[in-house]
């Protein structure tokens, strides 16, 4: 999350298309960020970085991915377009071959 404070690192992440897994609720719970509006994911999205919306440990955090999209994302200032882009970023950065990604996407609602 501290990448937001380092312009050179942000440029590197963008240039090399490196994905960033953002765990909104977990980052607030662990005080990595003080609150949802302070989370840098919105800034990452505005910069065109490959940020994705994730859960950290649903058993500990008591949240799931639906919660992150429906509750945490709006609290963090993410627009509907940003959450759609985060889903696309997740497809792009998944550790799968292209044929595996294509097969999974056939059943997706994205």
Question: Helices in the chain by DSSP H: which ranges?
Answer: 7-15, 24-29, 41-46, 58-61, 65-67, 73-75, 80-93, 98-106
Q: Which helix H or strand E contains 22, and what residues bound it?
A: strand 19-22
More confident: 22 or 61:
22
Q: What is the pLDDT of residue 49?
A: 98
pLDDT digits (tens, 9 = 90+) for 15-49: 999 999 999 999 999 999 999 999 999 999 999 99
Q: What is the pLDDT of residue 110?
A: 55
Q: What is the pLDDT of residue 109?
A: 59
* Extents of the domains making up the chain: 2-106
Q: Does pLDDT of 11 surpass 80?
A: yes
**pLDDT > 90 fraction of the chain, expressed in percent and rounded:** 75
Q: What is the pLDDT of residue 53?
A: 96
Q: Does pLDDT of 107 surpass 80?
A: no
SS (H, E, C) 37-68: HHCCHHHHHHCCCEEEECCCCHHHHCCCHHHH
Residues 6+ apart with CB under 8 A from 52: 19, 20, 21, 22, 86, 87, 89, 90, 93
């Amino acid at each position: 999350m501290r990448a937001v404070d380092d312009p050179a690192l942000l440029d590197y992440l963008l240039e090399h298309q490196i994905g960033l897994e953002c765990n909104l609720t977990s980052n607030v719970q662990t005080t990595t960020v003080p609150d949802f509006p302070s989370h840098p994911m919105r800034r990452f999205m505005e910069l065109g970085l490959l940020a994705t919306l994730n859960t950290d440990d649903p058993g500990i955090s008591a949240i799931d991915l639906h919660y992150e999209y429906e509750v945490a994302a709006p609290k963090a200032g993410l627009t509907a377009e940003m959450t759609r882009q985060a889903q696309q970023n997740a497809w792009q950065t998944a550790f799968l071959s292209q044929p595996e990604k294509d097969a999974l996407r056939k059943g997706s609602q994205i």
